[in-house]
């Protein structure tokens, strides 16, 4: 069977999708239709994975007490992170908004099932970390899929993973990969927020191609 032909129009749209994806921290609070979220999570499972193990485990965090624990976790980690900077960088860090946890209508914690039998160990005996890489690819797939629907996703990693895992009461064999906020963005930007705020600009070219 022949696959689809992606025309020039799609190519342009795809480039726009990549350019406008954004990590979002400023959300509108209005809810996302449940069937849309389900559809996006289905698309997420099209991501590649080592040995086809599909080790990603998404946990929808809806319970207010669990969300509050995650927010407290973030705030503590964020305060600790601030103390690692001095001078101008500390001032700038204090002004950054590094999560949209209070506004985002949906929260997902993403774990990797380290003991999954799926994939029968293929590929990960030499590189066990490929299991976690696979979960990251699922997140990136969700990131792009969400953007096609006008939704924004924000990745929160300023968090104590052990405490986050404990507050979500998940199986012991799952390792914490990411905490995600999903919702409609307050506004759209073609530049990353960290670039707009003078923290770190995006490079316009792929400069790290060494030749050997
Ligand atoms: C692994 C990973 C962890 C990240 N953690 C955070 C985070 O804790 N807080 C935050 O505001 N952004 C986080 N980000 C988003 C990055 O800051 C963002 O991707 C980068 O600044 C480029 O912006 P863009 O995604 O809008 O292109 C994370 C991104 C990745 C890939």
pLDDT of residue 81: 97
pLDDT of residue 1: 85
- Ligand 1 pocket test target in 27, 157, 188 with most atoms within 8 Å of CB: 157
Closest CA to 180 of 156, 158, 164: 156
pLDDT of residue 206: 83
Give the pLDDT means over successive 10-residue stretches in the chain (212 positions): 93 97 98 98 98 98 98 98 96 96 98 96 93 98 98 98 98 98 98 96 84 88
pLDDT of residue 102: 98
Burial class (CB in 10 A: 0-12, 13-18, 19+), 86: exposed
Evaluate: CB of 110 within 6 angstroms of ligand 1.
no
- How many structural domains are present in the chain? 1
Does residue 143 fall inside a structural domain?
A: yes
Does residue 64 fall inside a structural domain?
A: yes
**Closest residue (by CA) to atom 26 of ligand 1?**
22
Evaluate: CB of 23 within 6 angstroms of ligand 1.
yes
Does residue 134 fall inside a structural domain?
A: yes
**Closest residue (by CA) to atom 13 of ligand 1?**
155
Does residue 210 fall inside a structural domain?
A: no
The Cα 191–Cα 195 span in angstroms is 6
Does residue 94 fall inside a structural domain?
A: yes
Residue 65: give the domain boundaries: 28-196
Q: Three-class SS of residue 98? A: coil
Q: Which CATH number goes with the domain that contains 46?
A: 3.40.109.10
Does residue 13 fall inside a structural domain?
A: no
Does residue 22 fall inside a structural domain?
A: no
Evaluate: CB of 161 within 6 angstroms of ligand 1.
no
Does residue 63 fall inside a structural domain?
A: yes
């Amino acid at each position: 069977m022949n696959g689809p032909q992606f025309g020039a129009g799609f190519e342009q749209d795809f480039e726009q999708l990549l350019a406008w994806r954004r990590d979002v921290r400023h959300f509108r609070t209005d809810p996302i239709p449940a069937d849309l979220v389900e559809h996006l999570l289905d698309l997420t499972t099209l991501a590649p994975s080592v040995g086809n193990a599909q080790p990603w485990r998404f946990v929808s965090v809806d319970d207010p007490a669990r969300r509050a624990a995650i927010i407290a976790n973030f705030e503590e980690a964020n305060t600790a992170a601030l103390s690692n900077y001095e001078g101008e960088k500390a001032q700038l860090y204090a002004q950054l908004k590094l999560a949209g946890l209070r506004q985002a209508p949906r929260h997902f914690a993403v774990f990797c099932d380290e003991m999954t039998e799926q994939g029968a160990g293929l590929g990960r005996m030499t590189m066990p970390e490929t299991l976690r890489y696979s979960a990251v690819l699922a997140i990136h797939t969700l990131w792009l899929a969400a953007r096609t629907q006008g939704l924004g996703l924000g990745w929160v990693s300023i968090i104590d993973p052990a405490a986050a895992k404990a507050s979500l009461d998940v199986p012991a064999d799952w390792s914490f990969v990411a905490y995600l906020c999903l919702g409609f963005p307050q506004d759209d930007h073609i530049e990353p927020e960290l670039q707009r705020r003078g923290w770190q600009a995006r490079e316009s070219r792929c400069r790290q191609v060494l030749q050997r």
